[in-house]
Every structure is written in structure tokens, then in C-alpha cells.
A = this chain, B = another copy of it.
Amino acid sequence: MERRERADAARNRRAILTATEALLARQRPETISMELVAAEAGVGKGTVFHRFGSRMGLMVALVQERALGLREAVENGPPPLGPGAPPAERLPAFLDAVVDVVVRNKNLLAALGHAEASAPHDHGDLAEHPVYRFWHAHVASLLTGDDPRTLAHVLLAGLRSGPLVAMIDRGEEERVKRALRATASALLEKTGC
């Protein structure tokens, strides 16, 4: 039978998550070591690893939290993001929303990439990340043509591309959004043209 997580454990879990967010907001991701996170949270390094398993686990947990709002909006929110609108409206709206998530969490995503790099174990596969799976399934479901799954990967690839993320960093997020919308609409129109 399942036992609830102990109260102190839950408290420490939150403390670690919050500390990581604070550090992420303050300094560059590659300067954030697990030891630093532990210190900021006021716990021992062992606790951090006990809770999250690895650097990757910590970052994934954080990403999942940050992406929850978008998932909710897509599944139960009002159109055009939520259900009810035609793909031609939902897809651009979703891509815009995803870019917004990236804008708000660019440091976190950089940290995630940093964590991926040194992950020979098992978590190395971004495709297995629940957040990515959801995004990908959603985009694929809105696309037409043959092999929408691969096309969805192509569309979402932009969010991990150094040059595009650098543009977003520079505040040119509108250009990125426009380019993604243009690509998406071109793909949607192609079949009906």
C-alpha cells in the first residue's frame, strides 16, 4: 500500500525546486551546480539527489511544473488554444504559446540542455520527456499530410535550436513566432492548394 510522502520530505522537495528557480533567475545555467542548489535550498547534497536522482531529474521536474499551465489551457481552456477551433487557428495559437513558454523559461531550458549533455545513463532522450511528448502529440494531431508526426518534430525542433533561442534572447521573439506560424500555415495549406 502507498504511504504518503513524509512532511519534511515534501517541504524539502519544494525548497529545492524554489531554490533552483531562484538560482536560474539570477545566474547562468552552466554555473549552477547541484551543490549550489543544495546550499541555496538549505539542505545537503545527498537530499537533492535522493529526491531527484540526478541533475536531469531535477530539471525535468521543474520543466514539467512550468509547462503545466499550457497543457491545461490546451486541454480545457477556451479556443483558439483549447478545443473547438479549427486546426488552422489552433496550431498557430499553440506555437505562439509554446514560444511564450520558452521565453519565460529560457534559462531553465538551457539548463535542461546542459543536463542532457552529460547523461549517458538513460534520461538522455528528450523524446521521452512527458512535456515534449505532449507537445509533439498535439502538434501532430493538428497537422495534415502524410507523416504528420515527423513534421511535428520539424516544427518543434526550432525550440531547441541555438540560433532561434538566441534570437529570442535578443528580444526578437516576434520574428520567431512569425516564422513558425508561416511554416505551419504553409504546411496546412499545402494539402488544400
Contacts and interface: CB of A to CB of B under 8 A. Distances in A.
Interface string A150-193: 11011011101111101100000001101110110111011001
Given A153-B164, A193-B193, 17 more contacts: A30-B117, A30-B118, A116-B117, A125-B162, A132-B163, A147-B179, A150-B164, A151-B179, A154-B180, A156-B161, A157-B158, A160-B160, A182-B187, A182-B190, A183-B183, A185-B190, A186-B190
Interface residues of A, number: 44
Contacts of A31: 120
A114 interface: yes
Given A118-B30, A157-B158, A158-B153, A163 B183 contact: no
Interface in A113-127: 113-114, 116-120, 125-127
A104 interface: no
A90 interface: no
Contacts of A127: 162-163, 166
Contacts of A190: 182, 185-186, 189
Interface string A122-155: 0001110000100010000000010100110110
A34 to B, nearest CB: 15
A28 interface: yes
Q: Determine chain A's interface SS by DSSP, over half rule.
A: helix
B28 A120 contact: yes
A154 B154 CA distance: 8
Contacts of A118: 30, 114, 117-118
A154 B164 contact: yes
A179 B193 contact: no
